[in-house]
A and B are shown apart, each in its own frame.
Chain A
Amino acid sequence: MSHEHRDDTGARFGMWIFLYTEVILFSGLFILYAVSLSKFPEQYSIASHKLNIYFGGANTLVLLTSSLTMAMAITAIQRGRKKQTLILCCSTIGLALLFLVNKFFEWSAEIGHGIYPGSEELAAMGPGVTNFFNLYYFTAGLHGIHVIIGATLIGVVTVLVSKGRVNSEQYTLLENSALYWHLVDLVWIFLFPLYYLIL
């Protein structure tokens, strides 16, 4: 209407609050992890060694790189380099897809070994191992959904960049998508050591 309202700081502020809610969403699962780990320390260690660290490690590298390309995309748009921004956004989406493909193969292998929620083979491995994998599937699955949402969001922003609606004057949307993407990355940075490394 009459007043064109624009408040970039407000938009970023709102996004940060939204990111808190995501952190708390995942924190519920970290609480479950902590409680179960103290209950079944040995079985958790056994279960953890059944995970393939190469899949996890590769995915960590992929996500870290995608965070880098996303951060570079912001610098690019600040400097008004539209084409470079588009390339960097598309690389981020590509890396997100790579992450998901990798995850698909990792899960297929595990499911092939009879490790999935509700499987009898898994139940035979004892309650601690069962609990570890149930939690692992749910946490990684929820993270995977976030990867999909984040990649979709970046896809939308990429279209807006190509149309010029997001540009060097007005790029809060790109910044906010990048913030979201960094959160997705950050969650994985905690998941990876907890499930693959430290036990």
Chain B
Amino acid sequence: MSETPSRYGGFFTESPRSGILGWVTSTDHKRIGLLYLGCIVTMFIVGAVLGLALRLQLFEPGTGIMEAQTYNATFTVHGVIMIFLFIIPSIPAAFGNLLLPIQIGARDVSFPRVNLLSWYCYIAGAILAVTAIFSGGGPPDTGWTFYVPFSTQTTTNVNLAVSAAFMLGFSSILTGINFVTTIHRLRCKGMGWGKLPLFVWTLYATAWIQVLATPMIGITLALIFVERIFGAGLFDVAKGGDPILFQHLFWIYSHPAVYIMILPGMGVISEIIPVFARKPLFGYWAMALSSLAIAFAGSLVWAHHMYASGMSDMAIMIFSFLTFIVAIPSAIKIFNWVSTLYKGSIQLAPPMLYALSFIFLFAIGGLGGLALGAAAADIHLHDTTFVVGHFHYTMFGGTGFAFFAALHYWLPKFFARMYNHKIATLAWALIFVGFNVTYMAMQAVGIQGMPRRYYDYLPQFGPLNMVATIGSWILAVGLIIMFVNLWRGIRYGTPVGKNPWGGATLEWEVPSPPPMENFGAEDPVVTRGPYDFKGVIADEP
């Protein structure tokens, strides 16, 4: 390596303004990405602590560490924080901002100032959410779904919570608009649609869902708000409204939103697997188009959350069928990742461990989704902890693991320092084991009939709940080790060069950390594909 990474500061030192102002007024996509990353990791830790408290309460039957009302508030706030403040912005807003412009050979996103505005909307949403916990009639206790009529009648602080979600939706829309425009307009010379890294393709599909679905949650939450303030009653049967309509409007956004959450994760995995298998991604176009197919089909399945809400049998059959359709592009992705591994030269570095466990966990979550998508099985499983387990398999085992994979894969790029691989592997093993113990036990006890959102339960559910809680401790230890190791890595780790993994996408060709505007005086010209590893050699460790 010609430059010494410990001296070279890249975008950390090259800024028109210095100090904290240089960050909170910066329109540089990498700085905004890191701002997001910091906030998102903080929110994840807060949400995780609440989740641990929930598991602790369920350790054994009877009143444990909290009362029923506290329990309701805790799972609501856990959900709101994890959904709106962690998973939805996690990969797109943090790693999307960090990487999208570099990967397509651009100097920034199309609307850098709008990008900064989106971060401020996120912060405003976060402040509103935190205020909602500590003010008014107490923390919201509706569950993150805000179902009417309870959400319009409870005296807890739902108003602020829905305003927070509204604000975060605005932030998400702005990011989406920015990404779609950037991908259309700012690809560098030679970066045709067929040369886009898969991460960019998934961000593209995600951004369209963000743009097209998020306004629906905006209007729905606004209706809750006016209902509570003015008694507008559009979801109140006595005033001619319809509570089922709330569920429709809510899920028209919130189901596509799970694809906002998972698609960028799939993109991360599609980046990591070829690099650590030293093989081009199998079925590039199938992977690219299946992302769009998931985004499209995923927008038509919302009512599978409502089989038990009183829809017509016909509607249930249609939505059940459409739900099964989504499994096809998802399976295409899984098979293509596995085919990429076939006869590859597999290197089990920490990012690859997370990526492989993503495939495993997401497959379990996805198959559980089919069990829930089938109307007959769903009537039995509806509102049990099986649903909670399934959701965590897809969102935590899926997006969460992809997020950790992205942290391990790209942080050495942006900080030019490598964490300790042995500790990272240990942390991964603890997280993987703890995760499976926790959520598999949760799914099993759900099949036995344990309802979700209950703070107490019958004695026969005792053993499995205890197992799940013990699993959550293993998981927590693993997470602590992982975060500490990453933190030590970016602070004191061994300096690394610009391409520690041997990746072929553009971000590995720029210095670490990348400079302001990413590329020197000359715009890059792309001549080969994102997974064409011929001649690409990883830096010596």
Contacts and interface: CB of A to CB of B under 8 A. Distances in A.
A37 to B, nearest CB: 11
B312 to A, nearest CB: 14
Contacts of B516: 1
A24 interface: yes
Interface stretch (B174-182, B261-269, B488-496): B174-182
Contacts of A25: 215-216, 218-219
Main secondary structure of the interface of A (DSSP, over half): helix
A131 interface: yes
A137 interface: yes
A180 B242 CA distance: 32
A14 B178 contact: yes
A36 interface: yes
Contact of B214 (A21, A32, A131): A21
Contacts of B180: 14, 17
A118 interface: yes
Interface string B208-227: 00011111101110110010
Interface stretch (B230-238, B387-395, B413-421): B230-238
A130 B185 contact: no
Interface in A1-34: 1-3, 5, 7, 9-11, 13-14, 17-18, 20-22, 24-29, 31-32
B429 interface: no
Identify whether the interface residues of B are mostly helix, strand, loop, or mixed.
helix
Contacts of B517: 1-3
Interface string A44-58: 000000000000000
B120 interface: no
A88 B426 CA distance: 68
Interface string B497-519: 00000000000000000001100
Given A7-B110, A14-B177, A20-B211, A35 B184 contact: no
A149 B185 CA distance: 28
B413 to A, nearest CB: 22
Interface residues of A, number: 43
Contact of A21 (B108, B111, B215, B226): B215
A127 B185 contact: no
A148 to B, nearest CB: 16
A40 interface: yes
B186 interface: yes
B242 A35 contact: yes
Contact of B223 (A9, A27, A123, A138): A138
Contacts of B212: 20-21, 24
B365 to A, nearest CB: 29
B16 interface: yes
Contacts of B16: 1
Contacts of A10: 110, 181, 184-186
A28 B240 contact: no
B239 A123 contact: yes
B108 A5 contact: yes
Interface string B243-260: 001001100100000000
A17 B110 contact: no
A35 B231 contact: no
Nearest to A15: B177
Contacts of B242: 35-36, 39
B117 to A, nearest CB: 12
A9 B223 CA distance: 35
B177 A28 contact: no
B107 interface: yes
Contacts, number: 118
A130 B181 CA distance: 43
Contacts of B521: 2
Contacts of A128: 240
A98 interface: no
A64 interface: no
Contact of A14 (B181, B237, B245, B249): B181
Contacts of B211: 17, 20-21
Interface in B313-364: none
A160 to B, nearest CB: 15
B173 interface: yes
B178 to A, nearest CB: 7
B241 interface: yes
B181 A131 contact: no
B23 to A, nearest CB: 16
Contact of B233 (A5, A117, A142): A117
Given A1-B517, A117-B232, A127-B240, A13 B181 contact: yes
Contact of B231 (A20, A40, A118): A118
Contacts of A131: 233-234, 239-241
Nearest to A134: B232
A9 B181 CA distance: 10
Interface of B: 16, 107-108, 110-111, 114, 173, 176-178, 180-181, 184-186, 211-216, 218-220, 222-223, 226, 230-234, 237-242, 245, 248-249, 252, 516-517, 521
Q: Which 8 A-B pairs have the closest CB atoms?
A: A131-B240, A127-B240, A118-B231, A28-B219, A25-B215, A10-B185, A24-B215, A14-B181
29 contacts: A3-B517, A5-B107, A10-B184, A10-B185, A10-B186, A13-B185, A14-B110, A14-B181, A17-B177, A17-B181, A21-B173, A21-B177, A24-B212, A25-B216, A26-B219, A27-B216, A28-B219, A28-B249, A32-B245, A32-B249, A36-B242, A40-B240, A118-B232, A127-B237, A127-B239, A128-B240, A134-B239, A134-B241, A142-B222
Given A18-B177, A131-B241, 7 more contacts: A1-B16, A3-B517, A31-B248, A126-B240, A130-B233, A130-B239, A138-B234
